[in-house]
Structure 1
Amino acid sequence: MGADDGWHWNDAWIFVSAVIAERLERDRALHAALPVTGASFADVLAAADFLHHAVPSRDELEFSMRRLAGAGLLSVEDDLVEIAPAGEQLWRTRPFSGLSSAVMTLQAQLNRASAPGDWEWTLDEQTYMTALREYRTRLADGR
């Protein structure tokens, strides 16, 4: 699976999850008068689980993030994810659909809009496991 074989369903799933996670985090920060910093990997995992009732594996998350960031649709720094201006534009110009069909709609939109990129980045196991533990703790606490 390389950058030249088109966008996959998982890429759209991760992108929509990142959009949801970043928007929720932005709202929380603005309401608490805190700086807006982006969504954590735990936030993205939570949004992915909400959308698809599954948590992406480390490999799935890394693969899609590399493609999305390489295409200029999102940025990843440390353990924070932000939607890049090109990603915001893609999200705003997508055909409207509810969340139940947002991933499929976005996959079609991605395939029309741009080719996947290939950003040299690795999601190390420790960072992924920390995010997964944080998400599971939130879930257990009802947050």
Structure 2
Amino acid sequence: MGVGGWHWNDAWIFVSAVIAERLERDRALHAALPVTGATLADLLAAADFLHHSVPSRDELEEAVRRLAGAGLITVDDDLIEVAPAGEQLWRTRPFSGLSSAVMTLQAQLNRAAEPGYSDWSLSEQTYSAAVREYSMRLADGR
């Protein structure tokens, strides 16, 4: 696919959203709390786990806009959930393990859907707060 296709960062953020949401769902269910989705700090943690780096504000904002616009994730303030279409995409991907999940998902995205556009924006203040929260978790060993 040409310039308008899916980028590696889109797949990275999507896989990170899947991981973050599942971890948060498990935590909530074990604590008998309502399931609310993954926070931006949860997403940053999953992205760092996958790629040993934290996405920049611009990388995160662009990927979330494209994924949400395509109906693969939903975003409400700083809570991110995988939408039914995203769940379907994840469940039907060729299994490759986490080491190559991002590459596999990028290929799957390019076959399954076109990037969309959502007008969601991520302020520097909200991004910085999520980075701080994630950094505090690292310092606490969580």
Tell me how far 1:72 sits from its aligned partner: 0.1
Could you say which residue in structure 1 is the equivalent of 2:87? 88
Could you say which residue in structure 1 is the equivalent of 2:57? 58
Secondary structure class of the residue paired with 2:20:
helix
- TM-score normalised by L of structure 2: 0.98
CA RMSD of aligned residues (A): 0.6
Could you say which residue in structure 1 is the equivalent of 2:121? 122
Could you say which residue in structure 1 is the equivalent of 2:139? 140
Which whole-Å deviations, capped at 9, do the CAs of 1:16-67 have from their partners, x for residues lacking one?
0000000000000000000000000000000000000000000000000000
Alignment-mate amino acid for residue 34 of structure 1: L
Could you say which residue in structure 2 is the equivalent of 1:29? 28
Aligned partners of 1:68 and 1:47: how far apart in 2?
17
Aligned partners of 2:78 and 2:117: how far apart in 1?
19
Aligned partners of 2:122 and 2:77: how far apart in 1?
10
Aligned partners of 2:6 and 2:132: how far apart in 1?
29
Moved over 2 A (4+): none
Identity across matched positions, percent: 81
Tell me how far 1:120 sits from its aligned partner: 0.8
Alignment-mate amino acid for residue 126 of structure 2: T
1:15 aligns with 2:14: yes
- TM-score normalised by L of structure 1: 0.97
Which whole-Å deviations, capped at 9, do the CAs of 1:78-118 have from their partners, x for residues lacking one?
11000000000000000001100000000000000000001
Q: Which runs of 5+ in 2 are unaligned?
A: none
Aligned partners of 1:137 and 1:62: how far apart in 2?
22
Tell me how far 1:121 sits from its aligned partner: 1.3
Alignment-mate amino acid for residue 99 of structure 2: S
Could you say which residue in structure 2 is the equivalent of 1:107? 106
Aligned partners of 2:6 and 2:139: how far apart in 1?
34
Secondary structure class of the residue paired with 1:76:
strand
